Structure 1
Amino acid sequence: MTAQLSFPHVNHEMFVENVSIADIAAQVATPFYCYSQTAIETNYTNYQQAFSEQDALICYAVKANSNQGVLATLAKMGSGADVVSMGEIRRAIAAGIPANKIVYSGVAKTAEEIHYALRQGILQFNVESEPELELISEVATALNITAAVAFRINPDVCAQTHAKISTGKAENKFGVPISKARIAYNRAAELPGIKVQGVDVHIGSQLTNLAPFEEAYQRIATLVTDLRADGHDISVIDVGGGLGITYQDEVLPSKQDYANIVKAQLNHLGCKIIIEPGRSLLGNAGVLVSSVVFVKQGEEREFLILDAGMNDLIRPSMYDAYHGIVAVSQKDKSLNTYDIVGPVCETGDTFAKSRQIHQSKAGDLVAIMSAGAYGSVMSSTYNTRMLAPEVMVKGEQFSVVRARPNYDDVINADTIPQWL
């Protein structure tokens, strides 16, 4: 589902489901994030249907968007969660996701986090290193609890995506090299408090080509066969996430095509399959709505200066990421070319250069598209700017699912030393 389908223009005015974006802006004020619950549900259903012939569990990657409204929506549909911190475990459980549907990833799990996860009874630790394995064993033994584990395997496969979101090459910090996997599993089998049950792989994010998945899963299938020959009872394969979305003009494989690759490469092993989608569930289900503060004529170009900045959506600054930007109201407007920038005191606070959108003036609304994943969740109060609120829409209803803080909330979080 593309952002344009979820956020159509009706009579030249942008809507989310049956609610006018302009009406939300009048009540909430800009900037704000806006999510379509129906789009989230549709994306999740598409995964369910694609994997319906396999023994599969969908574990939403919470890091993509951890809002409680989002998590509760997915929990009601039966989703599990892929988490990378104790905070995300707490969020998932608070939203109604059962602990026995939670897999815990992440490269730097602490003893406190492991202790908490074990006490909750999570489904599986995706172990990133042998030192982490040793720590899990130590904590589990102290608690007299058995920890179910899978090693995250680095298959040394190029995901053909942005370097900062590629995770499956030998040079990346993630996982155990596939060349050392059998040694790691043999060590795990020797440790107290450890139950070896699975293999995990995740090669990156925003993949638009199935070939890297196919190559990685082929290598994982061979590894599972070898591990079973070594005496390990491998019953779970976590295939990770990473399926991309359309930001601009990307041509994507369907979720069914992706599921077919998983089935073709792994079905013969008889394992439970865990899928960890994040971006592909939320990315095009959300937009960032902003107001034009000024239109500034520079020496060589015209600037559209917004009230949303890089602190609200950092992806263009961090990843040189493309996001579509459209005028919320397009009636009786011609196209014009702008550099579209924010108010933050950084040259990098730029959303787009030489971008054509409908002509805009101060006070007009624009929507930054495909911002449902890795948008609000990565935002900050840099420049002491308030976090943008988040809004969820269902049919003709909308609700603020995270309110904008006030200045007292932010400033009073600091403490002045008593000697001052």
Structure 2
Amino acid sequence: MSDLADSPAVRRLDDWDLERLESLADEYDTPLYVMDLDRVKANYARFSAAFPDAHVMYAAKAHTGKAVLEAVLEAGGSIECAAWGELRRSIDAGADPNELQYTAVNPPDHDLDYATDLAAEHPGLTITIGAVDTLERLAERGYDGRIAIRINPGIGTGHHEKVATGADAKFGIPYERVPEVAERVREDFDLVGLHAHAGSGVLTAGLEDHCRAISRVGEMARRVGDDTLEFVDVGGGYGVPYREDDEPLDLEKTSNMVREAIGDLEAQLKLEPGRYVVADAGLILSEVNTIKEAPDTTVVGIDASLATLIRPAMFGSYHPMLNVSAPDREAREVTVGGPVCTSADVFAHDRPVARPERGDVVAIGNAGSYGYELASQFHSQPRPAEVALEDGEDRVVRRRETLEDVTRVERESGQ
């Protein structure tokens, strides 16, 4: 695994084999998700190597594709899940249910039913609660097993206010209530850990605030008795450089700062990287279908849309773009948008791209995390295919949806 851990810390679009990408677009059509499973394993190994004494779990919500989950498990990882579907998909990928951690956020009844039924057969499953209500609902189901308490540290970090979970009342038990809740848990359950997650997309420059939240988690662990806990889970949120001039996360500095922030603990440290593991392992290939000269810009229309990748519309996120077909053409500033009927369906404004022409294939980078996971059928568009690369081979791991797939649930209901 050491050769994977020593892989480059950042992967730019220029680092991909452009000829191969163009051949994939030709063979499998566009828009197309491409996931490099070798890169997934390398990213996991590199992160784990930076925290040799910690238990590193993969946050499944970043990408729950079976091939990705299998790659994480092959790399020696375990998995943290935030919903019943992620539990099921992790098990389908080969995960041991006894090693899964389920982090419940306002869980629907079917989530808790599934988790407690699973725990009845696999008592090693850990359920993380962020509300006293959830404890009551678990007790109603006869559950008395492993519980971790999610703390709201009151400090949010990350690339956007919509991912700064550490200061959002939706997430976790209010900080000063944790000791009383811990005592309540110990009465009827097996309290095994504390959990917190400050935010997402943190790079080296944002580590100070991130570690202030972690420091509070360490303090609380010692207040409730860290010698009685199995673990203290400080979540994930570790970012990747989306912009071409952003530096990658300094893992050595991150490890040192996290260790210093958490302080001395008897309990094991846990971390949950998601984005870091899969973001730069994935991209989208899309074909140019329209070139339109407008008074203030040149509009380049592509067949990917916000239904394919919603992050730019939802978070204003920057994703690098490259003309795969002709990377050496002279660059020109263009606006790149998709076929959805809203002004939000734009991937880039005034972005320098090697002059696109109709029929060119464009790559949209860093799409491996929260890309396919947030894809939709908006405008009744079938979701794209996904191809996995591994050991020099490629294979379809998610077929392209058809219009029949889009309308199937209606037809099967008799509509």
Normalized against structure 1, the TM-score is what? 0.91
Q: RMSD of the alignment, in Å?
A: 1.9
Aligned counterpart, 2:233: 238
**Residues 93-104 of structure 1 mapped to structure 2, 5 A cutoff:** 93-104=91-102
- Structure 1, unaligned runs of 5 or more: none
1:273 pairs with 263, 269, 274, which one?
269
Aligned counterpart, 1:134: 136
267-276 or 172-181: bigger deviation: 267-276
252-261 or 390-399: bigger deviation: 252-261
Match of 2:198, as an amino acid? I
SS in structure 1 at match of 2:362: strand
The 1:268/1:372 distance shift into structure 2, 3 A limit, reads same
Aligned counterpart, 2:401: 405
Say whether the 8 Å CA contact 1:284–1:372 is kept in structure 2: yes
Say whether the 8 Å CA contact 1:283–1:371 is kept in structure 2: yes
Match status 1:391 vs 2:393: no
Say whether the 8 Å CA contact 2:283–2:364 is kept in structure 1: yes
Say whether the 8 Å CA contact 2:388–2:395 is kept in structure 1: yes
Say whether the 8 Å CA contact 1:309–1:349 is kept in structure 2: yes
Structure 2 CA distance, aligned partners of 1:271 and 1:9?
41
Aligned counterpart, 1:172: 169
Say whether the 8 Å CA contact 2:310–2:374 is kept in structure 1: yes
2:151 pairs with 124, 145, 153, which one?
153
User: Going by fraction, where is helix more abundant, 1 or 2?
Assistant: 2
**Residues 205-224 of structure 1 mapped to structure 2, 5 A cutoff:** 205-208=200-203, 209-224=206-221
- Per-residue displacement from partner, 1:152-203 (whole Å, max 9, x unpaired)? 101111315310111001x431101111111211222233xx1111100101
Cα deviation for residue 123 of structure 1 reads 3.0
The 1:360/1:253 distance shift into structure 2, 3 A limit, reads closer
2:77 pairs with 67, 79, 90, which one?
79
Structure 2 CA distance, aligned partners of 1:269 and 1:385?
51
Match of 1:287, as an amino acid? L
Cα deviation for residue 24 of structure 1 reads 0.7
Aligned counterpart, 2:5: none
Aligned counterpart, 1:8: 15
Match of 1:185, as an amino acid? A
Match status 1:254 vs 2:261: no
2:312 pairs with 309, 316, 319, which one?
316
120-129 or 178-187: bigger deviation: 120-129
Say whether the 8 Å CA contact 1:210–1:253 is kept in structure 2: no
Say whether the 8 Å CA contact 1:137–1:147 is kept in structure 2: no
Match status 1:263 vs 2:263: no
Say whether the 8 Å CA contact 1:115–1:140 is kept in structure 2: no
SS in structure 2 at match of 1:277: coil
The 1:416/1:125 distance shift into structure 2, 3 A limit, reads closer
- Per-residue displacement from partner, 1:197-230 (whole Å, max 9, x unpaired)? 110010110011211232122211211111129x
The 1:125/1:331 distance shift into structure 2, 3 A limit, reads closer
SS in structure 2 at match of 1:269: coil
Aligned counterpart, 2:22: 22
Say whether the 8 Å CA contact 1:152–1:199 is kept in structure 2: yes
SS in structure 1 at match of 2:166: coil
Structure 1 CA distance, aligned partners of 2:60 and 2:100?
10
181-190 or 150-159: bigger deviation: 181-190
Match of 1:272, as an amino acid? Q
Structure 2 CA distance, aligned partners of 1:160 and 1:378?
19
Match of 2:137, as an amino acid? L
Structure 1 CA distance, aligned partners of 2:273 and 2:160?
18
Match status 1:39 vs 2:33: no
Aligned counterpart, 2:6: none
Structure 1 CA distance, aligned partners of 2:42 and 2:50?
12
SS in structure 1 at match of 2:178: helix
Structure 2 CA distance, aligned partners of 1:118 and 1:327?
49
Match of 1:139, as an amino acid? R
Say whether the 8 Å CA contact 2:240–2:249 is kept in structure 1: no
Aligned counterpart, 1:70: 68
